[in-house]
Amino acid sequence: MASSPITGKTPVPKSASTGLTTEEARSRLLKSGPNAMPDTALHPFRRALTQFWTPVPWMLEAAIVLEVVLGKYFEAGIIAGLLMFNAGLGFFQEGRAQATLAALKARLALNAAVKRDSTWKTIPATELVVGDVVKLSLGAVVAADVHVTDGSVLLDQSMLTGESVPIEAGAGFDAYAGALVRRGEAVAEVKATGASTKFGRTAELVRTARVVSSQQKAVLHVVRNLALFNGCIVILLVGYAHALLKMPVTEIIPLVLTAILASIPVALPATFTLASAIGAKALAKLNVLPTRLSAVDEAASIDVLCVDKTGTLTRNELTVTAVHTMSGFDEGHVLGLAALASSDGGQDPVDAAIRTATAEKAVSDLPKLIKFVPFDPGTKMSEATASEHSGAAVHVVKGAFAVVSGLTHSAPEATQAANELEAKGFRVLAVAAGPFAALKMAGIIALSYPPRSDSAALITELHTLGVRAIMVTGDAPATAEIVAHAVGLRGKICPPGPIPANVRPEEFAVFAGILPDGKYNLVKAFQKTGHTVGMCGDGANDGPALRQAQMGIAVSTATDVAKSAAGIVLTKPGLGGIVASVKEGRITFQRVLTYTLNSVTKKIVQVLFLAAGLLMTGHAILTPMLMVIIMLTGDLLGMSLTTDNVQPSPLPNRWQIGKLTIAGVFMGVSELVFCVAVLAFAKFRLGLGIETLRTLAFVAIVFGNQATTYTNRARQRIWASRPSGWLMGSSLLDLLIASTLATCGIAMAPLSIAIVTETLAAATVFAFIVDFVKVPVYHRLNIS
């Protein structure tokens, strides 16, 4: 890990042997200010309100005001309730950023052992200052970024890096806040505290990392297009009613209110959320837990997936990969001797891997252990004294090859074997045994994280789905190349160093030697080139990248910080959950696409029908109350599309709002022809009065919406796939409500059952006619 930068404002600390005086520490704390991490995030409810109000500028608020002015408090309450419902959903989602910061803070040490006035004492970690001398003891959490000056400890930094192997830290090593001391004791000098630590900077990046979701952009663009189109129609309506029809203000206000209600897709954000929630429920059954609903939608669009190596492509445990034996020893004896010099039941993953391998190749004539000396970072080896069956003493050492070979007369063959194994990226240990003064090289053991058995097949499946998988790892290029080849990743390896600003995912298959902040920069670089990025990580330092990515994925072994920053948490190792997320995301996308197309169709036809009705009758053909009923029943039907049976696309999805709007206008105009034809027949042939015509207009809109709902749900013919049970049930309920209200004269003038039935039959015929015309139009627009 790279050491944290130190600000130049702090005076040069005193010698680590004496520590600071209390007065010096107090002075530095006053100068630097509190060293707790900042908490300046915008209140989530406030941000939720802001985000929801942005795509729906002023029209709904205006509708509420007009309803209140007209004394229509019930209708005003319904519209206000819909607004608050969507804002509440945003509030829930925004709380995720606060949860990430809370998880980061909870992992910091509460207290620290510090040397003040030449005396060791325990103080709150927030009172530490740069230059303090602290003690790192067994079981303690490192309270600040420090530089080890004396002693040796085994540091578990998995909560920072996600790597399972603890690191030996001796004099000269830089350790970071949040690491856990697994073994030993050391003295260190504080180099950074609070928000200046790597941990604090990670928290700040998590707080500021943000990318606008494609879903939010889609809502904004759809509402913008509808507002522009329908806004112009409303202005023309008002102008025509006032200038030509000389309509009084008492009639113009309801007309304007009806037009506003007809123009805005109030349930659009709520339906997006509902579709995502249904997708999330399906994913939960596949061992995938979405923590941000927007990640379900984004899964449909990702075309680049940055994958961590350890724990995702590989198993998250060290194993013995190869054993190279020397003359006079076999594989079982080399492993058995190494096991004698390994801790039993400790937390060292290397010793655990050796003992596991030994159990699989047990031999019966091993020496009997007498004494074990644990691994010493200073000597870089562990030792054991054992007794042969003959009673002769034997000394066993296990450690770094360079150290062990220096204690023996190793042959060139051993050096060559060790170099070859290290060149392949394996962790290499040497084992020697014999009399204390005449040790003999027994063999060489290579350890690694083996690829998961299903990784290659899942990488191939992702490629088939149009998602390019890229390995991102902090390991050396040689190690990364071996794993990449084993799992089927083909392409060049990006050399270690800063991420190029204009890097493209197709240039490299592997990014090796990535620094802690590199993943965050890599995600941003890919996003700048127009890609939708998925990021898979497990450590606290992955938090910013997971938060920045459109689809952040925390693996099953990830830290709490990574899980809270991610949008999706896998509960089983491997890529299986990612593939499932992509497939389910594309199903969700198709459902939302159908609803959006349906919503555009409805809003276009409703406003244009108001204009056509005004021209034909000289009156507003729909009242605000009728429009509220149409909204409620229509949204019930529209939301049921989130459960519909759809065919996911084989490649990543993209929102094409322009083409979607054109398709919606085409379908809206088609439905307008149907509605105008029904209204014209009733007025000029049946001679119905204005109140009855309003009821018929209500019925025509509801039945016409039913027809276009079924033609919009299938990109091919209307019978290409069976509607879901919820859709058919909602459709029947919608028809029943509209027919009952119309025939019974509830909230409108009564209409005969015969006319309602004939209108329904006409809508059915209309559905098949427009279905015949739509296929070439959809094909030309590439709506799929």
- The 368-376 sheet, strands edge to edge: 319-325, 440-448, 427-434, 393-400, 381-387, 368-376
Residue with tokens 């409108």: 748
Separation of alpha carbons 298 and 279, rounded Å: 12
Is residue 297 within 8 A of residue 271, CB to CB? The reply is no
Separation of alpha carbons 512 and 500, rounded Å: 13
Separation of alpha carbons 621 and 610, rounded Å: 6
Q: What is the dihedral of CA 222, 227, 229, 230, to 10 degrees?
A: 120
Q: Give residues with Cβ within 8 angstroms of 160, minimum separation 6.
A: 1, 176, 178, 179, 198, 199, 516, 539, 540, 541, 559
Check residue 590 and give left, alpha or beta (phi > 0: left; psi -120 to 50: alpha).
Answer: alpha
Q: What is the dihedral of CA 319, 320, 321, 326, to 10 degrees?
A: 170
Is residue 538 within 8 A of residue 311, CB to CB? The reply is yes
Is residue 442 within 8 A of residue 326, CB to CB? The reply is yes
Catalytic residue, candidates 156, 308, 348, 771: 308
- The 510-511 sheet, strands edge to edge: 288-290, 568-570, 551-554, 533-537, 304-308, 468-472, 510-511, 493-494
Round to the nearest angstrom and report the end-to-end CA distance of the chain.
47
Side-chain-facing half-sphere of 1: CA atoms under 13 Å: 28
Active site residue 297: no
Paired residues of 319 in beta bridges: 448
Secondary structure (H, E, C), 554-613? ECCCCCHHHHHHCCEEECCCCCHHHHHHHHHHHHHHHHHHHHHHHHHHHHHHHHHHHHHH
Is residue 589 within 8 A of residue 301, CB to CB? The reply is yes
Separation of alpha carbons 563 and 550, rounded Å: 15
Phi, psi of 487 (to 5 degrees): -100, 5
Is residue 154 within 8 A of residue 184, CB to CB? The reply is yes
Is residue 323 within 8 A of residue 450, CB to CB? The reply is no
H-helix or E-strand containing 743? helix 725-744
Closest CA to 285 of 657, 572, 709, 702: 572
Tell me the residue length of the chain: 784
Q: So which residues are the catalytic ones?
A: 308
